[in-house]
Structure 1
């Protein structure tokens, strides 16, 4: 495959890993892309705190079961399901299954901008 820009190519998972786990943070602007994402693996009960973005977010559940809250609505999504949340609306997800939750959070932005509402 020929590169068409200085940013074309593969981004190794190890280059965007968060901490020592398997979760990853891809910031599109760093790689010539107009989208960003989190690839998350959470244990039962885990998930990010309530937060919002100035752009929409889309979640794709790869494995497990997630309780996803967007604004006043909470719903359950399982493997193969896709959910969306609009810009500026607080949201969160939590692993409500018995095993690992693998979920991708696609950010409609070349950068990731998050404002947490319930930071410890």
Structure 2
């Protein structure tokens, strides 16, 4: 989906919230208000969808046990970073792989091939940010 939208002047967030009533920009959001841009295995909950011009994308990510962004490494413009809140995640960036747990963090150039996999037995929660927003 992300690849398809690269050729269109629309972000992933705009695509998934296209028919939602326009909202006034706000400061606070409740958990139940965050749209899921992912799926059942990998939830990508986007903060701040009501802002017309977001310079960063802030996500609360949930990876179910066994969830994987896929065998094809991800690449896109910008930079991203995050902090693991609960569980663990195996993160591969370029040719380097690490298993990160609660309190661990990452930051990298998103043009580098990368992949996220939950190899643990519990849900992994991450709070992340990327700029420019690709969601």
Aligned partner of 2:28 among 4, 7, 10: 10
Aligned runs of 1:28-47 on 2, under 5 Å? 30=51, 32-47=53-68
TM-score, with length taken from structure 2? 0.66
Q: Which structure has greater strand proportion?
A: 1
Give the CA RMSD over aligned residues: 2.5
Closer, same or farther in 2 for the Cα pair 1:32/1:11, shift >3 Å? farther
The separation in 2 between residues aligned to 1:105 and 1:17, in whole angstroms, is 15
1:8 CA drift (Å):
4.0
1:112 aligns with 2:130: no
- Report the counterpart of residue 56 of structure 1 in structure 2: 79
Of structures 1 and 2, the one scoring higher in RCO (CA 8 A, sep 6+) is 1
Closer, same or farther in 2 for the Cα pair 1:103/1:88, shift >3 Å? same
Tell me the SS of whatever aligns to 2:51: helix
Range moving further from structure 2, 50-59 or 9-18: 9-18
TM-score, with length taken from structure 1? 0.73
1:20 CA drift (Å):
8.1
Q: Give structure 2 stretches of 5+ with no counterpart.
A: 1-23
- Report the counterpart of residue 70 of structure 1 in structure 2: 93
